[in-house]
């Protein structure tokens, strides 16, 4: 189960989503991230690829359309029975905005009747266009309705937020997160904090004291301990290990919390960090890189 199994749970009927956009925009990488919860390198899609997600006997079909010129004629036909269209733009490839606009305009007659989500991808890079620049370059004001959302198919930045928007377009209902962390922290094997991400309503003094006390207890039990949950001063502290890192999520103790989902979210973050930081296998620790990747990925937890 990847981090985006939260997305899988929101579809109540069979759904078809079409993802199109120019080649190298990152469409297949996005679909892969949805399936695996981390980045996997992909070669360009030839024609189309379909991913089926089964949720309690229901099926969601995500159709990833090839972006090369030879395959763009297939887009309209595939969109006919789709319930939502995603158009992905490489926000760093400003030299291709005109080409992207021309392809999007070709789809405009059909998009009058379907929800359109523009995903501005590669927001993990420094030199990306602002959302307002992309809107102007693609002349999005010509479309009856649309949403444009910055994401990164590589780091996971903003993906759950984007699919929450898609869910709202499909159902008219807001997606409610069952896990609302007060804070999450990533530690090295010795229990030393590498980075901490805080929620908007965090009581820092209480949480920091509770957090470090819990981690101290956890470290005393050793890195290989099965201890994975502590309760302290009205908070539940979820602890998880990966081969080279540890993590904690602090959530307020109440009847609505979903401990299993919190554990899954934390495990997915650690798995992503292990995948994106192969140097960990050589016992090299790049704190700045881990901090950045955690910030990017945490957008899916604190939305």
Q: What is the structure's pLDDT at 129?
A: 97
How does residue 93 score in pLDDT terms, banded at 50, 70 and 90? very high
The domain spans of the chain are 5-171, 183-298
Global pTM reads 0.84
Is residue 223 pLDDT above 60, yes or no? no
Cα torsion angle, 20, 24, 27, 31, sign: positive
Average pLDDT over all residues of the chain: 83
How does residue 56 score in pLDDT terms, banded at 50, 70 and 90? very low
Topology annotation, domain 5-171: Rossmann fold (3.40.50)
- DSSP-assigned states of every residue in 157-218: TTHHHHHHHHHHHHHS-PPPPS---SEEEEE-TTS-EEEEEE-TT--HHHHHHHHHHHHHHH
Give the class (CATH, top level) of 183-298: alpha beta
Calculate what percentage of the chain has a pLDDT beyond 70: 79
Residue 197: exposure state from Cβ atoms within 10 A (0-12, 13-18, ≥19)? buried
How does residue 215 score in pLDDT terms, banded at 50, 70 and 90? low
């Amino acid at each position: 189960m990847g981090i985006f199994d939260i997305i899988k749970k929101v579809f109540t009927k069979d759904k078809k989503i079409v993802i199109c956009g120019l080649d190298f925009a990152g469409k297949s990488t996005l679909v892969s991230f949805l399936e695996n919860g981390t980045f996997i390198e992909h070669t360009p899609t030839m024609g189309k690829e379909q991913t089926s997600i089964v949720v309690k006997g229901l099926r969601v079909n995500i159709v990833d359309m090839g972006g090369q010129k030879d395959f763009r004629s297939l887009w309209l036909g595939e969109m006919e029975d789709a319930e939502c269209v995603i158009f992905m733009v490489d926000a760093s490839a400003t030299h291709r905005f005109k080409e992207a606009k021309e392809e999007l305009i070709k789809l405009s007659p059909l998009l009058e009747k379907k929800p359109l989500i523009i995903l501005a991808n590669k927001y993990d890079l420094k030199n990306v266009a602002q959302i307002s620049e992309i809107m102007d370059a693609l002349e999005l004001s010509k479309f009856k309705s649309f949403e444009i959302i910055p994401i990164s198919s590589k780091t996971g930045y903003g993906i759950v937020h984007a699919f929450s928007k898609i869910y709202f377009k499909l159902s008219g209902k807001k997606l409610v997160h069952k896990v609302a962390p007060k804070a999450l922290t990533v530690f090295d094997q010795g229990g030393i904090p590498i980075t901490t991400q805080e929620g908007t309503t965090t009581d820092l003094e209480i949480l920091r004291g509770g957090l470090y006390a819990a981690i101290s207890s956890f470290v005393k039990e050793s890195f290989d301990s099965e201890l994975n949950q502590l309760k302290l001063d009205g908070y539940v502290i979820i602890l998880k290990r990966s081969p080279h890192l540890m993590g904690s999520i602090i959530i307020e103790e109440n009847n609505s919390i979903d401990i299993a989902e919190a554990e899954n979210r934390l495990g997915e973050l650690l798995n992503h960090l292990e995948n994106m930081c192969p140097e960990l296998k050589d016992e090299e620790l790049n704190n700045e890189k881990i901090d950045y990747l955690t910030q990017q990925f945490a957008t899916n937890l604190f939305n």
